[in-house]
Amino acid sequence: MSAAPTTLAGMPLPSPVLVAAGCGGTGRELAAYVDLAALGGFVTRSISLDPRPGAAAPRVVESPSGLVHATGFPNPGVQGFLATELPWLVQQGARVVVSMVAGSLGEYAELARRLGTAPGLAAVEVNLGPADGAGPGVLDVREPVHTGHVVAAVRRELPDGVAVLAKVRPDPLRVVESARAVTDAGAAAVVVGGPLAAALPDGRPAGLGGPAVGPVVARCVAEVCAGLDRAAVVAGGGVATADQARRLLDLGAVAVQVGTAQLHDPTTLARLVAALDPTPDPDTPGGPP
Amino acid sequence: MTGPARGAIHVDGEVLATKRVGAFTHLTIVAPGVGERFRPGTFVTVRPDDRARPAPRPFWVHRVRPVGGHAAALQLVVEPRGAGSRWLAGLPVGARVPITGPLGRAFALPKEQVPCLLVGEGYAAAPLFPLAERLRERGCPVSLVLAAPDEPRLLSALEARRSARAVTVVTADGSVGVRGAVADVLPDALARSEAAVVYATGTTATLHAAAAAAEAHGAWSQTAVEQPLACATGLCHGCPVPVVAENGSPRSARACYDGPVLRGDRVRWHDLEAGLP
């Protein structure tokens, strides 16, 4: 069976497989293992207005079937990103989705203004469920209604050609409410997934990703797809195999994001892109001549 | 599928031999292409074939040798300490293991024939042996300081005597060689070797001591930092090492991708010891 071509927020994508925020380095490291142009999209690590050094070590610790991480969003700031990372990514033919993190609505708007004029940007992903926990420079968005406010602030500042994806917390009880709030505020797609709120062994707030979160994300995706028929859903969390990706697509997601599995096995994305290639294999019996 | 990442490739390896030596298990693994690309200081990751353990495990490469019909088999030194290293050390001959490498930045070699002092601690001394070989091929006189908590965790001291002009052994419990820490023997070893470059592997304390002693002696230092890694491929920004950039400003490097080998005078050692990025 060949899947239908993937369209996300009006953009045709060559693959329904994207790399999740924070799991593709700056792109240069990932390019060694997968053709960035063949990915559905390259979601950057979360970029902030000012440079951030990131959290103290240890930042990533293994737990049964998961990775607990609190990186503190290390990044060169939007100016450094636009100068040294984005042009290279665009040159590679990647559809670049910039993950955004900021400390206030005003900072989100300013960040969106700075990104909106950058050539080659395909979309932004507003990180509304940073599981590292709120801290300096990270807005604590707990109530679904607040997620809508952030998306509206970002949407207002961006040109029409740049889509807004909103990544919401994978909380099965409130995810539909969050998804509704962000789509009402102008998000072209809801990214359902990402880390669950957790703690590092030393007690610092952190996110849990990996196989452990897969069933939670599946529930969230099912809830959003059933509760909100007009929302485009991108699902992420615990995806490591083509079958797992297909199950999320069958639940109604238009695309999937792969994160922890790529950290586990650097060949994961390349395998999934090949396995979910919508182009029918001419050698398959019954395929086109 | 595999792709070049400064030469890193991903293959299914096979355990050819396994041998207990002291506290370590020496594993010989066939990983076609990885050994050929290896340079001292780079490392490999071995992935537990178990989704319940998502983090790949990094290991130093001790030797690259022709074994049987294989041109460049890897020898890894494993000290069984956690779930991953115990699993790897327990693998039988014939076991298949997914392996990625070589990863990271290798030791920089001097352009001229200058004396070099190699300082290694415990299993982390592993990459100093192939490094000593390369240095000798270039005509650099090699002296070695081998350190360990105790004799069972002293790596290949006999072989060291064959590959270096002078070897100093130091153990914390005095079970073999000088009793003490690396820092105690460094000034003397540096003076006697007249080293222009110090290469160091081991704990942060040992690397810090080596970098400081090199600086005091007017030598360069190349330190192979060992930090807990998550992805080991530069993707996750999970292994920060505080450094000073060329322009003098503080920045954060990744142990796995910008390292593991970093210039000792560029690392902010006190911040690293405090866990700061």
CATH number at residue B126: 3.40.50.80
Q: If pLDDT is split at 50, 70 and 90, which confidence band does B157 have? A: confident
Selection from B240, B239, B256, B228 nearest residue A29 by Cα: B256
User: Residue B62 is part of which domain span?
Assistant: 9-103
Spell out which residues of chain A touch residue B255, defining contact as CB-CB under 8 Å.
Answer: none
Same domain, B66 and B33: yes
Contact criterion met (CB < 8 Å) for B231 and A266:
yes
Q: Please write the tens of the pLDDT for every residue from A174-233.
A: 999 999 999 999 999 999 988 999 999 999 999 999 999 999 999 999 999 999 988 899
Task: Give the list of residues 6+ apart from residue A191 with CB closer than 8 angstroms, or none.
Answer: A125, A165, A166, A167, A168, A233, A234, A235, A236, A257
Residue B262 covered by a domain = yes
- What is the Cα gyration radius of chain B? 18
Instruction: Give me the pLDDT at residue B27, please.
Output: 95
Of A37-41, A224-228, A284-288, minimum mean pLDDT range: A284-288
Same domain, B15 and B65: yes
Q: Pick from B42, B69, B103: which residue ends a domain? A: B103
Interface of A with B (CB under 8 A): 22-25, 29-34, 45, 53-62, 64-67, 69, 71-72, 74, 210-211, 240, 260-267, 270-271, 274
Selection from B183, B201, B176, B66 nearest residue B126 by Cα: B201
Q: Pick from B69, B103, B137: which residue ends a domain? A: B103
Instruction: Give me the pLDDT at residue A5, please.
Output: 79
Spell out which residues of chain A touch residue B257, defining contact as CB-CB under 8 Å.
Answer: 25, 29
Q: What is the mean pLDDT of chain A?
A: 92
Spell out which residues of chain B touch residue A31, defining contact as CB-CB under 8 Å.
Answer: 3
Residue B192 covered by a domain = yes
Q: Please write the tens of the pLDDT for every residue from A251-276.
A: 999 999 999 999 999 999 999 999 99
Give percent of chain A with pLDDT exceeding 90: 83
Same domain, B148 and B79: no
Nearest neighbour of A271 by CB, restricted to B1, B98, B257: B1
Same domain, B122 and B251: yes
Instruction: Give me the pLDDT at residue A127, please.
Output: 94
For residues B168 and B159, what is the distance between their CA atoms, to the nearest angstrom?
Answer: 13
Say if strands A163-168 and B70-78 run parallel, antiparallel, or are unpaired.
Answer: unpaired
Instruction: Give me the pLDDT at residue A282, please.
Output: 55
Residue B195 covered by a domain = yes
CB A194 within 8 A of CB A207: yes
Same domain, B241 and B123: yes
Of A122-126, A262-266, B46-50, B230-234, minimum mean pLDDT range: B46-50
Q: Does B6 touch chain A (CB under 8 A)?
A: yes
For residues B228 and B200, what is the distance between their CA atoms, to the nearest angstrom?
Answer: 18
Same domain, B158 and B98: no
The pTM assigned to this predicted structure is 0.92
Give bridge partners of residue A267 from the DSSP assignment. none
Residue type, A175: V
Same domain, B264 and B160: yes
More confident residue, B162 or A276: A276
CB B275 within 8 A of CB A56: yes
CATH number of the CATH domain containing B42: 2.40.30.10
For residues B80 and B78, what is the distance between their CA atoms, to the nearest angstrom?
Answer: 6
Which chain B residue has its CA at the smallest distance from A263's CA? B231
Contact criterion met (CB < 8 Å) for A69 and B228:
no
Instruction: Give me the pLDDT at residue A135, please.
Output: 73
Which chain B residue has its CA at the smallest distance from A267's CA? B1
CB A253 within 8 A of CB A193: no
Residue B254 covered by a domain = yes
Helix axes A242-251, A214-227, angle to 10 degrees: 20
Q: Pick from B54, B74, B103: which residue ends a domain? A: B103
Same domain, B140 and B233: yes
Report the complex ipTM: 0.91
What average pLDDT score do residues B127-140 get?
Answer: 95
Same domain, B198 and B267: yes
SS3 of chain B: the string is: CCCCECCEEEEEEEEEEEEEECCEEEEEEECCCHHHHCCECEEEEECCCCCCCCCCEEEEEEEEEEECCEEEEEEEEECCCCHHHHHHHCCCCCCEEEEEEEECECCCCCCCCCCEEEEEEHHHHCCHHHHHHHHHHCCCCEEEEEEECCHHHCCCHHHHHHHCCEEEEEECCCCCCEECCHHHHHHHHHHHHCCCEEEEECCHHHHHHHHHHHHHHCCEEEEECCCCCCCCCCCCCCCEEEEECCCCCEEEEECCCCCEEEECCCECHHHHHCCCC
Task: Give the list of residues 6+ apart from residue A215 with CB closer than 8 angstroms, or none.
Answer: A238
For residues A175 and B223, what is the distance between their CA atoms, to the nearest angstrom?
Answer: 48
Q: If pLDDT is split at 50, 70 and 90, which confidence band does A170 have? A: very high
Same domain, B142 and B259: yes
Q: Please write the tens of the pLDDT for every residue from B88-103.
A: 999 999 999 999 999 9
Per-residue pLDDT for B3 more than 50? no
Residue B189 covered by a domain = yes
Per-residue pLDDT for B20 more than 60? yes
Nearest neighbour of B277 by CB, restricted to A45, A56, A263: A56
Q: If pLDDT is split at 50, 70 and 90, which confidence band does B155 have? A: very high
Residue to substitute from A23, A264, A268, A273, interface B, most B β-carbons within 10 A: A264
Instruction: Give me the pLDDT at residue A284, please.
Output: 52
- What is the Cα gyration radius of chain A? 18
Instruction: Give me the pLDDT at residue A143, please.
Output: 87
CB B101 within 8 A of CB B8: yes
B209: left (phi over 0), alpha (psi -120 to 50) or beta: alpha
Task: Give the list of residues 6+ apart from residue A75 with CB closer than 8 angstroms, or none.
Answer: A45, A46, A47, A48, A51, A52, A54, A81
Contact criterion met (CB < 8 Å) for A59 and B237:
yes
Q: Does B11 touch chain A (CB under 8 A)?
A: no
Cβ count near B68 (within 10 Å): 9
Same domain, B199 and B236: yes
Instruction: Give me the pLDDT at residue A2, please.
Output: 44
Q: Please write the tens of the pLDDT for every residue from B257-276.
A: 999 999 999 999 999 999 89
Of A2-16, A96-110, A161-175, B118-132, minimum mean pLDDT range: A2-16
Per-residue pLDDT for A1 more than 80? no
Q: Does B53 touch chain A (CB under 8 A)?
A: yes
Q: Does B33 touch chain A (CB under 8 A)?
A: no
Instruction: Give me the pLDDT at residue A194, please.
Output: 84
Residue to substitute from A35, A44, A47, A59, interface B, most B β-carbons within 10 A: A59
Instruction: Give me the pLDDT at residue A289, please.
Output: 40
Instruction: Give me the pLDDT at residue A3, please.
Output: 56
What average pLDDT score do residues A49-76 get?
Answer: 93
DSSP A182: H
Residue B139 covered by a domain = yes
Q: Is the peptide bond before A58 cis (omega within 30 degrees of 0)?
A: yes
Per-residue pLDDT for A51 more than 70? yes
Query: Phi and psi dihedrals of A255, rounded to 5?
Result: -155, 165
Residue B109 covered by a domain = no
Residue B3 covered by a domain = no
Instruction: Give me the pLDDT at residue A287, please.
Output: 41
Q: Please write the tens of the pLDDT for every residue from B169-197.
A: 999 999 999 999 999 999 999 999 999 99
What average pLDDT score do residues B212-219 get?
Answer: 96
Separation in Å, CA of A71 to nearest CA in chain B: 6
Same domain, B179 and B250: yes
Total of domains in chain B: 2
